[in-house]
Structure 1
Amino acid sequence: MQRELRPWPALWALVIGFFMILVDSTIVSVANPAIMRGLDADLTAVLWVTSAYLLAYAVPLLITGRLGDRFGPKNIYLIGLVIFTLASLWCGFSGDIETLILARVVQGLGAALMTPQTMAVITRIFPPNQRGAAMGLWGAVAGIATLVGPILGGVLVDSLGWEWIFIVNVPVGVIAFVLALRLVPKLETHQHSFDWLGVVLSAVGMFLVIFGIQEGETYDWGTITGPITVWGLIITGLVVLAAFVVWQRYNRKEPLLPLSLFRDRNFSLANGGITLVGLAIVAMPLPLTFYFQVARGLEPTQSALMLAPMAVVAGVMAPIIGRLTDRVDPKWIAAVGFAITAASLAAMSLLITPDVELWVLLIPAAGLGLGTSGIWAPLASTATRNLPPAQAGAGSGVYNMTRQVGSVFGAAAITALLNARLEANLPGFSESGAQSSQAGQALPPQIAAGFTDAMSQALWLPVVAFALGAVLVLFFAKPKQTVAWGEQQASQPDAAGSPATGSLSAVD
C-alpha cells in the first residue's frame, strides 16, 4: 500500500534532530573553561570532549548511510536519535572527564546514524528543481546550529551549569522522535553488502592521525612510550588511510567509499569544500571563546552574545540563499560566501586586543553570519544534484563524512595550534593558566597581551580554510538543466537494475 509523500513536513521533522546533533558539535566550546574547573581537567583533556564526539561521529558515516539504504532511513534515524538522547543524559551526569569523553563517543555514534538519513530523504523525495529550497533549509539548519551552539551553551552554563548543555537534549530528543515517527515516510530499501574491512581501516587510520596531531604538543612531538612516537603514529595512520583508499579501488563487491561518485566533478569539489567548512567551523569558536572568557573575563553568556550577530544574520539570510541556488549558478554564491567569511574572520583576528572595545567585534561577527549563510546550501545542492536515488544514502554518507572528517581534523589542529602558540607566547600557561582562571575575571595585563596574541594567531587556521574554499568552488561546473521529476525517476535504475517509478509515494 502506498500513500502520497508530504516532503516538507517530513523534512521539518528530520531537521529538528539534525539541529540538535550539530549544536552539540560546537556547544561545548563555550563551556570548556567551566568543564575544566568542574572536572579538574587540563586543556588537552577537555578538548578531547569535542574531538571524541567528532571522531565517533565521522568514522561510521560511510556505513550508516548504507544502513539507511538497506533498512530504511526512517528506522536508522530513529535508532540513532534514541542512542543520542540517552547518551546526552549520560554526559550530563558524568562525574569525571574520562566518563564524559566516553559518553560523548556514544553520543557521536548516535549522531552518525542520524545525519546521512536527512540528506538521503531530501534527495529521494524532492524533485531536482525543488532540492535547492530543501537544501536551503538543510543548510540553514546546519549553519545556524553551529553558530547557535556557543550562544545556547553560554546561557545554560551561566544559569544552570555546564551539565545542562547535554541534559537539554533529552526533551528535544523526545519531541524529535515523536515528530519523525509520525511525519517521516518509510521509503523503499536497497540491498547492500557491508565492507567491514573498510570500516576497520578507516577507523584505525583516522584515530592514529587525529590522536597524533592532538596529543603531539603533550609529548613535545617526540616519544609517547617505548618505540612509539607521535610522528610514528601520524605516519602509520596516513599509511592505513592510503591502504583504505586502495582497498576501496579494488574491492570487487561493494566498497564502503564508492570512488565512482567522485567521477562527478561537482560532487568531488563540493566534498572538498565541505571538508574545509567542517575544519573551519569547529576551529573558529575555540580561540574566540578563550579570548572572551579568559583574556577579557566575560561570563559564558556574555561571551556567547559576542557571537550572536553571526546566528542572527545567518538565520535571516540562509533561507533566501537556499531559494537563490535554484536560480543562480551555485559557485558564485558559494565563492562570495567563502570570501566574506574569510575576510570577516581575518578582521576579527586583527582586531582582538586586550583592550579593544567589544562592540567593535560585533561588526566582523555579523560578516561571519552573512558569509556562512552563502556556503551551506550551494555546496549541499551541488553535491547531491546528480545523485540517483539508489545512491542517495551512499552519497549523503560520503558528503557528511567528509564534513565531519574536516571537523575532526579542525578540532585536532586547533588544539595543537592553541597549545603551541600559548607555549610560544606564555611558556607554561597552556598547562595550568586557563584551568585556574576564574569566571568573570580578566587576566592581568602582563599576561593578557600574550594570551590574546596566541588566540589571534590561532584564528588564522580557519581563515586560511575559508580562503581555500573560495578558490575551490570557482571550479564548479555549471549545473545541468534539470528534467521533469517523473522523467528523471523513470530513467534512474533502482538497485536491481530496473527503472524506478516516477511517482512521489512512500511505502506504508
Structure 2
Amino acid sequence: MKTDSIEKRKGKLILILAVAMVISVMNSTMFNIALPTITNEFHLQPSQAGWIVTGYIVVYAIGSVMFGKLADKYKLKNLLTVGLLIFALGSLVGFLAPNFWFVLAGRIMQAMGASVMPATSMIIPTRYFTPETRGRALGITSSATAFGTAIGPIIAGLVTNFISWHYLFVISLLILLTIPFFRVFLDNEEGKMKNKTDLIGAFLLAGTLAFLLLAITQGSFLLAFIGIVLFLLFLWRIRVAQNPFIQGSLFKNRSFSAGLLVSALSSGIGFGIPYLTPLLLQGVNGLSPLLSGLVMFPGAVLAAILGRKGGKLADQKGNGFVAYTALLCFFVGYGILSIIAGASPYFIMIVLIFAYVGQTFIQIALGNTVSRSLPKEQAGVGMGIFMMMNFIAGATATTLISKALEIKGANFKINPLSLNYNSLNYSNIYAVLAILIVIVTFIYMMNFRKETIKGH
C-alpha cells in the first residue's frame, strides 16, 4: 500500500512538472513568433532583435547550472518558489516596457527565474525514478516540451494579432499556479553539498558567452578577444578554485562528456525550428504571426503525442534506437526544408513533423544517457551543465542564424535542388543544419556504439 502511495505521488509530481514545462517552453517560443513584430515596432536590425532570444538563452543557460548546483545543497521546492517569483517580476517589467531595452531587461529577469525549470526537469526524473522507469518520465517531460512548443506559436499569434505582444508576458505568469503543487509533492530532502557557489566562475562564464555572441553579431575582433580572455580566466578559475562553478572532474566521465557534445550540437540544430521557421513563414511566405503559428502547430503536437512513446522505447529498445530515429527524422526534415523553403506553407507544415519528432526524441535519448552516467550526488550539477550546454548551443545557433539572414545578394546554393531564389538564405541555413546532423550521427556512433548494441 505504501509503495502504491509513493508511486501515485511520483505520478502527480511528474504531471505537475509537465504542466510547468509547457508554460516555461511557451514563454520561449511565444517571443520567437512575436520577434518580427517587435523588430518592426522598435526599428531594429535582426541581430539586435535576436538578443531578445539570445540574451534570454545566455542567462537561462548559466542559471540552469546555478540552480543545478543549488539543488545539490538546498530543498528543491524552495528553489522552485524563489525562481518562479523572480520570473514573475521579470514578466511584469516586460509587460510595462516602454522601449526595447526594458523588453530585454524583462526577458533577462524572466530567464534568471525560469532557469530553475530545466534543472528541475532533469533532477526530478533522476532523483525520483529508477533507471528502468526514467525513460518514461523523461518521455512525459519531453512531450510537455513539445506541446509547449506547439501551442506557444498559436497563442503568440492570437495575442500579437488581436491584442499586443506585451500581453505575452502576462500569459507567462500562469506558471505561478504550479508553486503550491510543487511544495506539496516535493519532499523536504536537502542536498549534501555545503560548499559555497563559485560566483566568480559563474560571472566569468556568463561574460565569456555574452562577449563571444556579441562579437558575432557586431563583427568585432575586440569583443571576441575579450570573450577569449574571459574564457581563459574561467579555465584558470576551474583549476585554482576549491569548489569551482563547474567541476573539471565531471568531464573525465567520457559518457557524460560525449553526451554533452552530441546534445549541444543537436540542440543548436533544433533551434532551426522555433527561431528560423517563423521568420521564413512571415518574411518570405508573408503569413501573419497567427498563421505561421498554425503552420508549426501539427508537427509540434504530433511530437508531443509521440514523446511518451519515445520514452517507452528508450526503456524497451535502448537509447541508441531512439537517438538514431531522432537523427534520421532531423535529417529528413531539414534536408527537405532546404529544398522547399519559400514554397507552399502546407508543404512546410508536413515536413516540420519530421524535424519536431527528431527534436523531441533526441532530448529523450540523450537526457536518459547522460543521467545514467552520473552518480546521485552529482546529478544536480551534472544535469544543470547538461541543460546549460544545450542553451549555450541554442544561443550560438540563434546568433549565427540571425547574422546569416543579414547576408545580402547571396547567389550560391548549398543544396542544388533548392526551388526558390527568394528564400536562398533560408535554404542554405537548412542545408547546413542537415550536414551538421550527419556529423552528429557520426560522433554519436563513435561514442555510444556499445550502448547501442546492448540496448541500454
Q: Structure 2 CA distance, aligned partners of 1:187 and 1:75?
A: 11
Identity of aligned residues (%): 22
Q: Is this contact kept in 2: 1:120–1:396, CA < 8 A?
A: yes
Matching of residues 329-344 of structure 1 within 5 Å: 329-344=318-333
2:427 pairs with 1:424:
no
Q: Structure 2 CA distance, aligned partners of 1:462 and 1:184?
A: 40
TM superposition shift of 1:14: 2.4
Q: What SS does structure 1 have at the residue aligned with 2:316?
A: coil
Q: Structure 2 CA distance, aligned partners of 1:357 and 1:248?
A: 51
Q: Deviation string for 1:351-390 (max 9, x for gaps)?
A: 123xx33322222112223322321111101000132221
Out of 337, 345, 354, the residue aligned to residue 367 of structure 1 is 354
Which residue identity is paired with 1:244?
A: F
2:214 pairs with 1:243:
no
TM superposition shift of 1:109: 0.6
Out of 131, 152, 155, the residue aligned to residue 128 of structure 1 is 131
Q: What SS does structure 1 have at the residue aligned with 2:196?
A: coil
2:50 pairs with 1:20:
no
Cα distance change on mapping 1:480 and 1:65 into 2, 3 Å? farther
Q: Extract unaligned runs of 5+ from structure 2.
A: 412-419
More helix by percentage: 2
Cα distance change on mapping 1:380 and 1:312 into 2, 3 Å? same
Cα distance change on mapping 1:51 and 1:373 into 2, 3 Å? closer
Matching of residues 305-344 of structure 1 within 5 Å: 305-344=294-333
Matching of residues 460-479 of structure 1 within 5 Å: 460-474=431-445, 475-476=447-448, 477-478=450-451
Cα distance change on mapping 1:41 and 1:196 into 2, 3 Å? same
Q: Structure 2 CA distance, aligned partners of 1:470 and 1:23?
A: 29
Runs of 4+ in 1 over 6 A off after TM superposition: 479-483
Q: Structure 1 CA distance, aligned partners of 2:314 and 2:354?
A: 20
Q: Is this contact kept in 2: 1:414–1:461, CA < 8 A?
A: no
Q: Structure 2 CA distance, aligned partners of 1:116 and 1:295?
A: 37
2:363 pairs with 1:376:
yes
Q: Deviation string for 1:133-178 (max 9, x for gaps)?
A: 11111222234434443333223222322122221112x2231222
Matching of residues 222-301 of structure 1 within 5 Å: 230-251=220-241, 253-301=242-290
Larger-gyration structure (1/2): 1
TM superposition shift of 1:110: 0.6
Out of 179, 182, 185, the residue aligned to residue 183 of structure 1 is 185
Taking structure 2 as the reference length, the TM-score comes to 0.89
TM superposition shift of 1:412: 1.1
Q: What SS does structure 1 have at the residue aligned with 2:132?
A: helix
Which residue identity is paired with 1:236?
A: I
Residue matched to 1:78: 81
Q: Structure 2 CA distance, aligned partners of 1:455 and 1:55?
A: 24
Residue matched to 1:505: none
Q: Structure 1 CA distance, aligned partners of 2:63 and 2:346?
A: 42
Q: Which moved more, 1:47-56 or 1:28-37?
A: 28-37
TM superposition shift of 1:250: 4.3
RMSD after superposition: 2.5
Q: Extract unaligned runs of 5+ from structure 1.
A: 217-229, 427-448, 484-508
Cα distance change on mapping 1:138 and 1:340 into 2, 3 Å? same
Q: Is this contact kept in 2: 1:137–1:319, CA < 8 A?
A: yes
Which residue identity is paired with 1:424?
A: G
Which residue identity is paired with 2:409?
A: A
Q: Structure 1 CA distance, aligned partners of 2:142 and 2:110?
A: 22
Count of residues in correspondence between the two structures: 441
Which residue identity is paired with 1:454?
A: N
